[in-house]
A and B are shown apart, each in its own frame.
Chain A
Amino acid sequence: MSVASIIGQALVLFGTFFYVLSSLGLIRMPDVYNRMQTATKSATLGSLGVIIGTGIWAIGEVGSYSWIPKTLIIAVFLLLTNPIAAHALIRAAYKSGVPLWEGSVVDKYKEANYSLEQVEEIGESLEEPSQEVETNE
């Protein structure tokens, strides 16, 4: 049992603890947006801990240093892509009309969208005045 395997095991334990928190957050949070908050953050840090922990564990257990660079680059890719996926999901949820939790205090995005849509509609009507009336409710 070397120092490297102890550090690796501690990191993997740390990562799994945040995995558990992440899934617990999915159950306890009230709406999509808050669930995304907990799921993204905890799952990303949990994955970092587990992946890099595996690399360090391999030094002590197998005696091979070639795991570390691979695990590092996987961790970097994960760190770069995970927030983008979360952003795409939460934006798609908003665009398809998922409501915010009733306890939410403020929604600036709705106000901004409303003013932007108005500007676009005015622009369209100026460009094509003989366009047919929109039929959505």
Chain B
Amino acid sequence: MGEASKISRYIYTVLILFIIWLFLTSSLDPQELTIGAIFSLMVGALTYEVFTERGLENLNPKRVLYFIAYIPYFLWAMIMANLDVAYRVLHPKRPINPGIVECRTVLTNNVGKLALANSITLTPGTITLDVKGDRYFIHWIDVKDKSVEGASENITKPFEKFLKVIFE
């Protein structure tokens, strides 16, 4: 997977910056829009090299659709995680069984790995401790399976089916 052309990376960066500007000002006044566009072009010229590797290819409709489908799935997992934490904190016996397990992932893209690590941190009972290559070291509050395969089955598999389409 090579890098996209400079033009497409630049346009993508400016688009994202301009959308953030729109949200931050929350007004459609032409003066605001002009200043926002100028500043997006300037900041984009300075930062597009570190901001993205794939450019406009990120806006592939399939990726965008999967991303939109991922949002409710992720929010639901997060709410379940918090109910799980609530149960563990409020239960008088404090039913925890912690440990650090190792997982493997099939993702190769760096942004995809970051998204997977963030998703793991915010979902039931797991927090990412370190990532080395394709190995994730995860602190799991309730260890059900100590082996590498079993832990991957429980922790990373549910997200990978989405993240593989979005980022690969």
| Alpha-carbon distance between A41 and B98 when the two chains are bound, in angstroms | 16
Shortest distance between the CB of B37 and any CB in chain A (Å): 17
Q: Given A105-B98, A109-B137, A44 and B122 touching (CB < 8 A)?
A: yes
Give the residues from 114 to 128 in chain A that come closer than 8 angstroms, CB to CB, to chain B. 116
Give A31's nearest chain B residue, CB to CB: B98
DSSP class of B's interface residues: helix, strand, loop or mixed?
Answer: mixed
Interface residue? B96 (CB, 8 A): yes
| Alpha-carbon distance between A105 and B129 when the two chains are bound, in angstroms | 16
Chain B residues contacting A91 (CB-CB under 8 Å) are 129-130
Q: Given A72-B23, A100-B100, A42 and B85 touching (CB < 8 A)?
A: yes
Among B24, B90, B98, B143, find the residue whose CB has the most chain A CB atoms closer than 10 A. B98
Interface residue? B22 (CB, 8 A): yes
Q: Given A33-B139, A37-B139, A41-B78, A90 and B127 touching (CB < 8 A)?
A: yes
Interface residue? A3 (CB, 8 A): no
Chain A residues contacting B109 (CB-CB under 8 Å) are none
Cross-chain contact B129 with A28 (CB below 8 angstroms):
no
Q: Given A21-B89, A83-B118, A66 and B27 touching (CB < 8 A)?
A: yes
Cross-chain contact A37 with B129 (CB below 8 angstroms):
no
| Alpha-carbon distance between A83 and B102 when the two chains are bound, in angstroms | 19
Number of B interface residues at 8 Å Cβ cutoff, please give it.
40
Cross-chain contact B129 with A94 (CB below 8 angstroms):
yes
Cross-chain contact B23 with A34 (CB below 8 angstroms):
no
Q: Given A34-B98, A112-B132, A66 and B127 touching (CB < 8 A)?
A: no
Interface residue? A69 (CB, 8 A): yes
Among all A-B residue pairs, the 9 with the closest Cβ atoms? A83-B121, A106-B99, A105-B99, A73-B23, A69-B26, A108-B102, A66-B26, A69-B23, A83-B118
